[in-house]
Amino acid sequence: MHVLVGTVCSGKLFFVHNKGQVMRRRSLNMPGAIVRVCALLFLAASSAVAQPVSEPWDMAQVVKVWCSGDRDARIASFQSLLEDVVEADGPARQWAANLIVQYRDGNLSCAQDTGYIPAGDQFLDVVTGNLVEVIPDDAATPFLNIPLRRALSPFASAVQLVAAEAPENRLRAAQGLARTLGDVPPTLIERIYQQEQNNQVAAVLEGVLVPALLGSGDADAQLRAINTLAGNATRKSRATLDNFLAQEPAALSGPVRTAAESARSSVHWVIQVSEAMTVAYHGLSYGSVLFLAALGLAIIFGLMGVINLAQAEFVMLGSYATWFVQEALRALAPGLLEFYLFIAIPFAFLVPALVGAFMEWSIVRHLYTRPLLTLLATWAVSLLLINLVRVTVGTQNLSFLTPEYLKSGFTVFGEFSVTWSRLLSIFFAGITLIGTLFVLYRTRFGLRMRATTQHRQMAGCVGVSTRRTDAMAFAFGSGLAGIAGLALSTIYNVNPTMGTSLIIDSFIVVVLGGVGSVLGTALAALGIGQLNAIIEPLYGAVASKVIVLLAVILFIQQKPNGLFPRKGRR
Amino acid sequence: MRRRSFMKGVGVAGLAMSAPGIILPAWSREKVKVGCLFSSSGSMANIEGRLNYVVQMAAQELNRAGGVLGRQIEVVTTDPASDWPLYGQQGRQLLEDERVSAMFGCWTSASRKAVLPVVEENDGLLYYPLHFEGEEDSKNVVYMNSPPASSVLPALEYLMGDNGGRARRFFMLGSDYVWPRTINAQLKGYLQQKWGIEPDAWQEEYVPVGHSDFQSLVNQIKSFADESGEQPIVVLTVVGNSIPNFFQEYINQGISSLDVPVLGLDVVEADLEGLDTDQLVGHLNCWAYLQNAPGAANQRFLSAWANYVQENNVPFSPDVAIDPMVSAYTSMYMWAQAAEKAGSFDVPEVRNAFPGTSFDCPSGYKIKLTSENNYVHRGVFIGSVNRDKGFDIVWQSPETTIPEPFSPYI
């Protein structure tokens, strides 16, 4: 411990030595605070010189309250910690911010009379400041129930806001406060807001201050708040404005009321538009999922007339290939793990493509003239694949890492927000569509495939090897299903039977789009996706399935060959 | 010569073929058959599949200890493929062809309802390991788990109380079949009669079984939460693979348990396997067993399961245990005890022996059957999702509760 103090806090020790005996005794009386700060600095590998801690905390007491105190005692403790942090400077602030964030995130383990927080590979005893390799067996994370976490979360954000220096951390803290201010005093936020240099953080803090400003009774403050609300068109803002306007007429001055009313109507309008956009986006994202699942089928079904019931299992194989790539990266190159989704693309394509090629060679090609038998045979293959995966990997849902860049999403405007994982699936659908069109219309393989689709005998007569074209098309279609599996792995859960729910929807899309037409498939998928997204919020998910199926039946009755019927003779 | 050898061959073959007919009945008198009705394929496979193995594990333990009434247990498993009518059909086969003495089976209430007429017609026995909507008390079914009054209502009361965040608005989202609809009907009655809560404080939505795309519904939950200042919660009664799909979308859209907590009535440890539970901390469930239940009986069960998985190469995780597994495992012991007490495998006699049978359940409670009905008295746990893909115990009942099969709120 002394070595630690000596190396990290040499400045401090100098200070103690120079000032002589009295100071030394004082520092020995409360070594915990100093050592803690030093240890923290050591951990952060900070080169900053330790500064004296003006307000050392009685850590034993704090830990006792945080680990087993009742709700009110804990909230009082958070409150006093926040007050101390505002008064304190540099290292003490950092120390407190780290502690409360670790506590919020469930990393504080409580033991007899002390607590531990993780510090790199080791643990820091928060009372003595010692680093230990292992924590006692009876140390346990205290359970925080929902009301406690609700009370704690704003305090943790406020402490972070005071202590953090990096703008992104301050922004995250401000956003935390924007959810709810809880028991954090608005005056503190006002003070921080006045001094805030970063525009983004200041904008968020403005929103945090709204309720306080509206309640202040000062017309200028209220106008400022209304302005903020008008610029932030959410349902929450609308509700705040509604509540504000619902006050007694005498409580509001004329200009404030007019401003609030016009802000309310503009917010309302933006919300309406953004909600419509949300529905359209949901349709687009569901449509892209359908398209990805159906595209491979469209090619196989369209070209060879083979109804491949194992298609959905190729989707599953694609997901499993992605998972194996993830696990391989985790073991071999953890640095690249974040990008496993992109590294997995070739594997997710090739593995199902090879399995598909093998299946075509061993089973399907013998049955080209007997469609009913292909139906049975491919169904058998589908069962085989499901059970093969079940026996080798297991039935449980696979755990996929959600890379940092795919977590949550962003708000476009108003209530229209977009999640990255859905955006990725739309992106994959777009790329796959372009790639497939390129292969079909710009390569010799595509030319042969189109020729074979249009007229098999004639294509054979002019020298196209229809056998080889069939095999390659089957592999290509299987590989596309694999890409779908990759894109779905961040949205749905992955298990051996994941494909079974996709296969029927895929067939509907293919038939509706016109057998063998890529653009038709895309359009049909988008159409079904949109219809679903529009009906679901109105009549529920069950009704939307029924209505969509009825609509498809009616459409097929009118146009039996789908949206884009194939030209030419069969 | 040729003809003679042919005749000889036929004779040998005939003898060999008839031999099992002669040998088997004598041998099978030694064994007593029981049946399993759990799906190994379809939407329910990931969770129901485990129950097949745990029943076999219990049978193996009993067999090693000498069997039941001196006879070894043989478990006949089926695969009803998550297809509700198929449960009835395969249940009939078990009862009429296999002549099983007892069946352990069904997860969803829809499947139990399919088996119910079959067991009643054949006077069979079905041990049902799930907590469910109640409103049923057949003499041919042993309800191993709790009706809503001793599972769902305590959990809801917790969420509405000071320690749960005073929930006052309810988004009820379920799969579209009998269990979610009955549960929600009871909840609505309960909220109205006991708390005086008005119907505009809830919204009820149903999805088809196996539904996987929840983006629009999660969006509806968001706007439901924004409608009023009072604390909203989601009462989730979707089943099977819809559960992880729902939570995945919940994470993706960035809603935490601080905003809108989810009370997942069918959510078990196994549903969390593929999810990033850091984002799910604080969502709740309620069962008669949680993997973190204290006590030596639970430790014994957990290590027995881990060993069984390793020895038999079971395709499920050795370190995940869920309530229906424990309930199914316990069923076998409850049945064996009743049969021993009755001195017979005949259903009417076994049934008469039920009252007074009890078992030290891995949940830590001494569970028992009384003469009042066929519901087993169980304890109640409320769990909260933690970072380790499990549930912390938030609350547990001091004693087993007295089951009330029929709800006064419907």
Mean pLDDT by 10 residues, chain A (570 residues): 36 34 36 44 38 59 88 90 84 85 90 87 87 87 89 93 88 89 89 88 90 86 91 89 84 86 94 94 94 91 84 95 95 92 95 96 89 91 91 84 84 89 93 94 92 88 91 94 92 86 88 86 95 93 92 92 72
- Report the CATH number at residue B315: 3.40.50.2300
> Are both B375 and B386 inside the same structural domain?
no
8 A C-beta contact, residue A509 and residue A294: yes
Query: Percentages helix, strand, coil for chain B, rounded to the nearest 5?
Result: 45, 15, 40
B408 domain-assigned: no
> Are both B116 and B247 inside the same structural domain?
no
> Are both B94 and B178 inside the same structural domain?
no
Query: CA B327, CA B401: separation in Å to the nearest integer?
Result: 16
pTM for this model (two decimals):
0.85
Full residue range of the structural domain in which residue B366 is found:
9-145+294-379
pLDDT band at B2 (very low <50, low <70, confident <90, very high): low
A136 in contact with chain B, both atoms CB, cutoff 8 A: no
Closest Cα of chain A to B63: distance in Å?
A: 26
B residues 182-241 near A, CB within 8 Å? 205-208, 210-213, 215-217, 219-220, 222-223, 226-229, 241
Name the residue among B41, B252, B317 with its Cβ closest to that of A497.
Answer: B41
Check residue A569 and give its pLDDT: 53
B residues 290-349 near A, CB within 8 Å? 315-317, 320
> Are both B113 and B163 inside the same structural domain?
no
Closest Cα of chain A to B82: distance in Å?
A: 11
Cβ-based contacts of B276 with chain A (< 8 Å): 401-402
Cβ-based contacts of A541 with chain B (< 8 Å): 205-208, 211, 216-217
Would the CB atoms of B43 and A396 count as touching at under 8 Å? no
Closest by Cα among A513, A526, A510, A430 to A477: A510
Q: Report the b/e string of A266-281 with b at 16+ CB within 10 A.
A: ebbebbeebbebbbeb
B245 in contact with chain A, both atoms CB, cutoff 8 A: yes
A258 in contact with chain B, both atoms CB, cutoff 8 A: no
Query: CA A485, CA A475: separation in Å to the nearest integer?
Result: 15
Would the CB atoms of B252 and A545 count as touching at under 8 Å? no
- Other CB atoms within 10 Å distance of the CB of residue B66: 10
Q: How many domains is chain B partitioned into structurally?
A: 2
B307 domain-assigned: yes
Quote the DSSP letter at residue A49. Answer: P
A residues 170-199 near B, CB within 8 Å? 179
B409 domain-assigned: no
Check residue A22 and give its pLDDT: 35
Order of strands across the sheet that contains B391-396: B202-207, B169-175, B232-237, B262-264, B284-287, B381-385, B391-396
> Are both B117 and B199 inside the same structural domain?
no
Closest Cα of chain B to A132: distance in Å?
A: 23
Query: CA B13, CA B21: separation in Å to the nearest integer?
Result: 13
Rounded to the nearest 10 degrees, how much is the dihedral formed by the CA atoms of A67, A69, A73, A75? Answer: 40
Sequence-distant (6+) residues with CB within 8 A of A272 are none
Cβ-based contacts of A149 with chain B (< 8 Å): 257-258, 282
A382 in contact with chain B, both atoms CB, cutoff 8 A: no
| Chain B residue closest in CA terms to A280 | B216
> Are both B298 and B279 inside the same structural domain?
no
Indicate which of B50, B216, B260, B309 best probes the interface with A, i.e. most A CBs within 10 Å of its own CB. Answer: B216
Average pLDDT over residues B363-386: 95
Would the CB atoms of A395 and B208 count as touching at under 8 Å? no
pLDDT in tens, B305-314: 999 999 998 9
Name the residue among A282, A393, A493 with its Cβ closest to that of B241.
Answer: A493
A118 in contact with chain B, both atoms CB, cutoff 8 A: no
Would the CB atoms of B316 and A394 count as touching at under 8 Å? yes
B88 domain-assigned: yes
Name the residue among B210, B227, B229 with its Cβ closest to that of A501.
Answer: B210
Cβ-based contacts of A394 with chain B (< 8 Å): 315-317
Q: Is the pLDDT assigned to residue B178 strictly greater than 70?
A: yes
Closest Cα of chain A to B271: distance in Å?
A: 8
> Are both B361 and B392 inside the same structural domain?
no
Query: CA A89, CA B377: separation in Å to the nearest integer?
Result: 59
> Are both B313 and B167 inside the same structural domain?
no
> Are both B276 and B248 inside the same structural domain?
yes
- Other CB atoms within 10 Å distance of the CB of residue B244: 23
Closest by Cα among A386, A311, A385, A502 to B41: A386
B4 domain-assigned: no
Helices (H), B313-406: 323-342, 347-352
Three-state secondary structure of A171-192: HHHHHHHHHCCCCCCHHHHHHH
Query: CA B150, CA B399: separation in Å to the nearest integer?
Result: 11
Closest Cα of chain A to B272: distance in Å?
A: 9
B162 in contact with chain A, both atoms CB, cutoff 8 A: yes
Closest Cα of chain B to A205: distance in Å?
A: 20
Sequence-distant (6+) residues with CB within 8 A of B361 are B289, B297, B326, B330, B367, B378
> Are both B38 and B133 inside the same structural domain?
yes
Name the residue among B166, B213, B248 with its Cβ closest to that of A493.
Answer: B248
B282 in contact with chain A, both atoms CB, cutoff 8 A: yes
Check residue A212 and give its pLDDT: 87
Query: CA B25, CA B175: separation in Å to the nearest integer?
Result: 45
Would the CB atoms of A542 and B206 count as touching at under 8 Å? yes
Average pLDDT over residues B45-50: 89
> Are both B130 and B232 inside the same structural domain?
no
B30 domain-assigned: yes
Average pLDDT over residues B74-87: 94
> Are both B390 and B260 inside the same structural domain?
yes
Q: How many CB pairs under 8 A join A and B?
A: 152
Query: CA B409, CA B289: separation in Å to the nearest integer?
Result: 25
Beta strands per DSSP E along A207-246: none
Structure tokens at A150: 């609700």
Check residue A254 and give its pLDDT: 84
Half-sphere exposure for A311 (CA within 13 Å, toward CB): 30
Cβ-based contacts of B251 with chain A (< 8 Å): 402
Average pLDDT over residues B60-81: 94
Quote the DSSP letter at residue A140. Answer: B
B399 in contact with chain A, both atoms CB, cutoff 8 A: no
B181 domain-assigned: yes
B404 domain-assigned: no
- C-beta contacts of A420-427 below 8 A and 24+ residues apart: A420/B252, A421/A490, A421/A491, A421/B252, A422/A281, A422/A285, A422/A491, A422/B215, A422/B252, A423/A285, A424/A341, A424/A487, A424/A490, A425/A285, A425/A288, A425/A289, A425/A292, A425/A487, A425/A488, A425/A490, A425/A491, A426/A284, A426/A285, A426/A288
A282 in contact with chain B, both atoms CB, cutoff 8 A: yes
A residues 87-106 near B, CB within 8 Å? 106
Cβ-based contacts of B253 with chain A (< 8 Å): 408-409, 417, 419
Indicate which of B215, B243, B292, B389 best probes the interface with A, i.e. most A CBs within 10 Å of its own CB. Answer: B215
Q: Report the b/e string of B120-137 with b at 16+ CB within 10 A.
A: eebebbbbbbbbbbbbbe
Name the residue among B249, B254, B282 with its Cβ closest to that of A149.
Answer: B282
Pairing of strands B31-37, B102-105: parallel
Check residue B19 and give its pLDDT: 47
8 A C-beta contact, residue A521 and residue A311: no
8 A C-beta contact, residue A142 and residue A104: no
A540 in contact with chain B, both atoms CB, cutoff 8 A: yes
Rounded to the nearest 5°, which phi and psi values hold at A114? -150, 180
Closest Cα of chain B to A89: distance in Å?
A: 31
The residue to which tokens 């089943």 are assigned: B239
Closest Cα of chain B to A549: distance in Å?
A: 14
Query: CA B7, CA B256: separation in Å to the nearest integer?
Result: 78
Sequence-distant (6+) residues with CB within 8 A of A219 are A253, A255, A256
Q: Is the pLDDT assigned to residue B251 strictly greater than 50?
A: yes
Check residue A49 and give its pLDDT: 34
Query: CA B146, CA B152: separation in Å to the nearest integer?
Result: 9
Check residue B9 and give its pLDDT: 55
Residues facing residue B36 across a β-bridge: B77, B104
Average pLDDT over residues B194-223: 93
A residues 483-512 near B, CB within 8 Å? 491-498, 500-501
pLDDT band at B50 (very low <50, low <70, confident <90, very high): very high
Order of strands across the sheet that contains B141-143: B72-77, B31-37, B102-105, B126-128, B141-143
Cβ-based contacts of B244 with chain A (< 8 Å): 397, 493
In percent, the amount of chain B with pLDDT more than 70 equals: 93
